[in-house]
Structure 1
Amino acid sequence: MSDIIIRVAARGDGVTENGRHAAFAAPGDTLSADGSVVPGPHHQTPPCGHFPRCGGCQLQHLDDESYAGFVTDRIASALDAQGLTAPLRPAHLSPPRSRRRATLHAEAKGGRVLIGFSEEKSHAIVDIAECHILAPELFALVAPLRALLQRWGFKRRGDVHLALADQGADILVTSFSPDGLEAAEAIIAFCQRHGVARFSVDDGLGAETRWEPEPVTITLGGVAVPLPPGAFLQATQDGEAALVAAVREAVGNPRATADLFAGLGTFALALPGKVYAAEGARDAILSLKGAANAQHRPVFAEHRDLYRRPLTKAELDRFDAIVLDPPRAGARDQAEALASAAVGAVAYVSCNPSSFARDARMMVDQGWSLEWVQPVGQFRWSTHVELAACFVRQASSG
């Protein structure tokens, strides 16, 4: 007896119509009675030699069509679990080697330093010798950074935060703080040799910058925003552009918009009219405030914890449109207030289809219509799915 794989479940297993699961199976594959998988038309040869051991990717065996289907199905399944449906647009996929932000892990082991992603469901580090998701400029730093950490006595387990800023690569290494003139000169030489924009270390007391010849920025909405070490950015520039376009379409041309969980201003600086931006991370909101003021952008930025103090209905009603982009937990309390607000349109950006669907259910129950959802797969070949959605108030039947 054999079965055909019809879909890929949320954690990456292939599933047959009768519910059998198989690891590393693609839609169209055949699952034999003995559990072996016979590749079908959508099963591609994984491009990376570290797959499937490396946890950076779970789905390299899927071709683009089946991977796009996985991204869309994740959202459809989450909505269905809440009794919701919505028009789902074709998934937007970021290309390989386009990740401009990533956190790798580093560990001293066996007399050498390992740098890479963790193995799937493990703390063991895959010491990467190739990577098909990182931007080439970032991957090119891995080997020389490995040598630098090994030379200067990296002894503990830490993280290596990599990002591509306007000026080049931004590096933050945790559990690392070498002292002395010789170490300082080695870091400077490393940065000069490899064109690094900034090098920071954090031994537990906060980021300490060791190299930054000019202030590091990231351009958002045409504005150069100061980039704090280790700050959140959309994972790819391509994915960011897709999300920004969807948000702008969803809100239209409002006179006043509230951007909630605004971060550094990815959406606030791309919106027309006046913008109120709220964000709980102090360094991010100060960067946005300074950049907007310097460019005379009509953005009012407030440091505000939206989990402890969500905007009330009265506050929300002052705006023509709302944009929110919460963390993975979603925005239950803020969505509850938003559900009863007299706002024209809402653009909801999410990195977790399940918490998004939960919040969407509250809004739909209060008279909102979920007009469309734009799936975005900017974490190439991973099970991590993002989306942008448009809500509008349903016309009153009375």
Structure 2
Amino acid sequence: MSGVGSDWRPIVRLAARGDGVSDDGRFVPLAAVGDSVDFSISPPLIMPGPHHAAPACTHYPACGGCQMQHMDDAAYGNFVIDRISRVLPGGLPDDVRPLALSPPRSRRRASLKALKRGGKLVLGFHSEGTHALIDIVDCPVLHPQLMALLAPLRRLLRARLKDGQGAGIALTLSDAGVDVLLANVSAEGLAAIEALTDFAQGCDLARLSVEGAGGIDTLVERRQPALIMGGVPVPLPAAPFLQATREGEAALVAAVLEAVGDAGRVADLFCGLGTFALPLSLKAAVLAVDAAGPAVTALGLAARLAGRRVEVQHRDLFRRPLVSVGEGGGKGGELAGLGAVVFDPPRAGAEAQAKELAASQVPVVVAVSCNPNTFGRDAKILVEGGYRITTLWPVAQFRWSSHVELVARFERQP
């Protein structure tokens, strides 16, 4: 490609947030690998290459929920693998499994915002990096059961919000139906209660709760929201954390079970509701630890009712990680005797716990991560402590976003 004054450059890779990067290091939003870009024009002109794709959503790229709808699945998959490989100490292991990519319209949880202004209600997601709300007509990411609620939510909030008032909406698709939590929506007075109750019944919600200054109040519970994990139904607290898609959860659980192998005693750290603890408990005794009190309580109750071998601890692993040595520096630390440890921390990672694991003799450590950067830091600690990454499972359940997840198996070296 040439022309008077033109400055064409190929896009050779993607940056961490999905921007295309040219061969001379310039960043280009909405460019895919294989595109060509003329930098002599402002904004730069993109000539689509073989991996450029038509966006699936009419709101793209204004909506901040997706960053990569302009590329095909092959290019997106390469981005996920490259994003992980860049942070791994020593690069990718020999055993890298195929990418588990969740399909469109599979997201089972979402947090939306609403704002009423000038009699008009806007309901949707924020534009990336701003407070501007994008009024969502359709979302190719959301599960159809959640998408179907947007129109009735508009009618409800248009009637219940004052002009200039905003509200938060947390939607969770449980195995018993949809759980809705509304923030900054009044439930005071007969008219408000009747309107919210009619909304819950008309939409066949499992539960409807409201959050105000005094906390969360459940107004309607027609069915107890629950998820079945490892064959055990776990009751859900309001607005719980759960894996974004059923397909993503299944991929993560299958990877963890394979990575743990036949270990007879396993610790599941940052266990949440028991996504891994309950499936693991089918063949192992599990110590499940997390700082989220409601989640640990729900897991403990569900495990006891099902007769599963799960011991739960409510504990802040950032401040009090499970230790590798006993009191006074002797043997018998909390990690002693474990055949495997699974840890699935939030985006901040688990630096303190990784250091204790690196000093332990646990034969297998399985890391589940939603942030390659902090995973890379924690992995380096484990590798320097004598572990080796043997297998990697890349997972992309936040389809079309730069959010990357993974499971990695570490083995202690002789």
TM-score, normalised via structure 1 length = 0.96
**Pairwise CA distance, 1:36:** 0.6
How many residues align? The count is 393
Does the 8 Å contact 1:84/1:361 carry over to 2?
Answer: no
What is the identity, as a one-letter code, of the residue corresponding to 1:340? A
In the alignment, is residue 114 of structure 1 matched against residue 127 of structure 2? no
Does the 8 Å contact 1:72/1:90 carry over to 2?
Answer: no
What is the identity, as a one-letter code, of the residue corresponding to 2:49? G
Deviations, residues 77-119 of structure 1 (Å, cap 9, x unaligned) = 122xx55443443321100100001111222223222221100
The 3-state SS of whatever aligns with 1:207 is: strand
Deviations, residues 108-151 of structure 1 (Å, cap 9, x unaligned) = 22322222110011111111001010001001101211210121
Q: Who is 1:23 aligned against?
A: 29
Q: Who is 2:346 aligned against?
A: 327
Q: Who is 2:45 aligned against?
A: 36
Partner Cα distance (2:265, 2:63) in 1: 45
**Pairwise CA distance, 1:195:** 1.4
Which stretch of structure 1 is more off in the superposition, 384-393 or 70-79?
70-79
Q: Who is 2:398 aligned against?
A: 379
The 3-state SS of whatever aligns with 2:294 is: helix
Q: Who is 2:170 aligned against?
A: 161
Does the 8 Å contact 1:68/1:92 carry over to 2?
Answer: no
- Percent identical residues: 49
Which stretch of structure 1 is more off in the superposition, 132-141 or 83-92?
83-92
Does the 8 Å contact 1:346/1:391 carry over to 2?
Answer: yes
Partner Cα distance (2:14, 2:213) in 1: 40
Q: Who is 2:3 aligned against?
A: none
Partner Cα distance (1:152, 1:89) in 2: 50
Does the 8 Å contact 2:19/2:28 carry over to 1?
Answer: yes
Q: Who is 1:300 aligned against?
A: 311
The 3-state SS of whatever aligns with 2:214 is: coil
Select 2:138's aligned residue among 105, 130, 145. Answer: 130
- The residue correspondences of 1:215-364 to structure 2 (distance < 5 A) are 215-271=224-280, 272-313=283-324, 314-364=333-383
Structure 2 gaps, min length 5: 1-6, 325-332
- The residue correspondences of 1:63-212 to structure 2 (distance < 5 A) are 63-79=72-88, 82=89, 84-87=91-94, 88-153=96-161, 156-212=165-221
Does the 8 Å contact 2:186/2:192 carry over to 1?
Answer: no
**Pairwise CA distance, 1:288:** 0.2
Partner Cα distance (1:214, 1:233) in 2: 18
Structure 1 gaps, min length 5: none
Partner Cα distance (2:369, 2:186) in 1: 35
Larger Rg: 2
What is the identity, as a one-letter code, of the residue corresponding to 2:13? R
**Pairwise CA distance, 1:17:** 2.0
Does the 8 Å contact 2:10/2:36 carry over to 1?
Answer: yes
Partner Cα distance (1:108, 1:316) in 2: 53
Q: Who is 1:9 aligned against?
A: 15
Partner Cα distance (2:29, 2:223) in 1: 48
The 3-state SS of whatever aligns with 1:322 is: strand
Does the 8 Å contact 1:174/1:204 carry over to 2?
Answer: no
What is the identity, as a one-letter code, of the residue corresponding to 1:31? V
The 3-state SS of whatever aligns with 1:284 is: helix
Partner Cα distance (2:237, 2:146) in 1: 18
The 3-state SS of whatever aligns with 1:348 is: strand
Partner Cα distance (2:294, 2:65) in 1: 28
